[in-house]
Structure 1
Amino acid sequence: MTHAEIDKLVRGFIVDTATADANPRVQEVVVRLLSDLFKAIEDLDLSPTEIWKGLEYIAESGATQEIGLLAAGLGLERFIDIRADEAEAKAGITGGTPRTIEGPLYVAGAPESVGYARLDDGSEVDQGEVLLMQGTVYDSHGTPLPGAKVEVWHANLMGNYSFFDKTQPDFHLRRTIITDADGRYQFRSIVPAGYGCPPNGTTQRLLDLLGRHGRRPAHIHFFVSAPGHRKLTTQINIDGDEYLWDDFAFASREGLVPPIERVSDPKKLEGLGLQKPYASIDFDFRLNAEKAGIPPAEVDRHRAAA
């Protein structure tokens, strides 16, 4: 079939059969996506078996909760961020901390504290490296933002996240920190490990067929928000990781790889009750003011809640 014939066929399937008022936006999207799919099937001469195996793959990805992982691995989530960057630049919004992907592993409801929080429960201190991370949340003019919300979450030394990994306590390595009167935050944790897709999962199976790895560098996720400002979704990568600039999820960005200082001062170690050096990261967040007429920075999507 020609593309024009396919367009006519899809309109016959979706538009001409409507017997009640349709949602115009939903109808527009379905017609476009279905037309593009039919054209791909025709152009690539996909067999019925290939089509059904594709549908089975999508169903399995959903059933095993890997759709979010697949969206990251195919670049869809990064593409969404690119479009958001372009929309903000067109509206004259520039200069804030770079955004990058949220990923599928946020959990709402982490305990709140003001100024400081400890994320880990101490169970991995001997195997890993203690981390202190601190900084200030600023507005676009460089003014500190007291009362800003810094939500932080990351993996343990096995590359696993609490809630999804039932061996970890609730909200392990997850906290919400409200910045103090000077707009500052600090947390203590452990330096996280990088990790890969489940080796036998649907995402890694597809990546194998594409000749790609499924590894992520060690990283720490953040939501940063304040009244009157655009919510920031971002993450920092741990400098020195093997996959620092080879992230299967395409989330590595300039400006999101802060230097790490190894602290060995005996007085500082004593103050933390430590016997060995720890890692320290300074990182400031800069939020842009909210502006009418562009898509909101807050994304409405399903998220886990404990």
Structure 2
Amino acid sequence: MTSSTIRHVTYRNLGWDSAADIYLPPDFDEKRKYPAIVSTHPIGSCKEQTSGTVYAAALAKEGFVVIAFDASFQGASGGSPRFIEDPAIRVSDIRFAIDYLVTLPYVDENRIGAIGVCGGGAYTIQAAMTDRRIKALVSITGVNFGRLIRESFSNFDPVSAMEAMGRQRTAEARGAARNVINYLPDSVEGGRKAGITDIDVLEATEYYKTPRGRKPNGATSGLYSFNSAAMGWDAFLYAEVLLTQPLMIVVGDKPGGFGAYRDGWEIYGRAASKHKHIVVAEGWSHYDLYDKAGAVTLALGNAVPFFGEHL
């Protein structure tokens, strides 16, 4: 898509502004009503990466108005301190994106869907449970951040991790410097030298730390002292009761340490949705689904007709 088909916008969030890009369909007509989709980026990512330039752009070409936004405290959006990854606020961000969409005269408020990648996929699932304006949703290699941080991100010792986070937050409240951690090594080579063998960590590094996916606001950073907010959070809580909208899950069949394959099958089983589908991309990994042509084509080949049917 050319730059003329993207509108850069800001809108009010809780006490700050959110920054977003709106991707418009070809031959866009202000006087028409279009189905719309909210696209949510992964943890540590930004709207200029997979959620925007890959999935939002492709869906717009298929006739949808798509909004890709930066999470609060991240990217070009406001909020302080920076680099907070609080699942409750990330889900709230999706609601504010919908609030903005319904003010646009060319958006059909009764045909709003949602898509998310990695952590954004699980945030989208949780948002759909409590915002009935979302009529259909797609999770692309979705990861339940609460589960992830309780397990591998805390070395399977969440209580000790929370105690350390509490000590750090106390120190920061007393004037110490913020501890902003990088979720990834600086390079694939550096990760391997450090003994990292997990496919997800190494492929994430290859995506975010090289020209393939690197963007100025794709910081892959998190404010350590505030990560305790995710410890008691579960993206799939009450899915058996509240998740009733049409649902599509897309996962690769090469499992990695971030757990998208496992999480995908879990929510597929738990969701109350009468219309639910799981697409397993054979031969593809978690990060292949971010931007690799074959994997993305497979995902969109299922997601586009799904949204076409249910929006």
Coarse TM-score class (shorter-chain normalised): under 0.3
TM-score by length of 1: 0.25
TM-score, length basis structure 2: 0.24
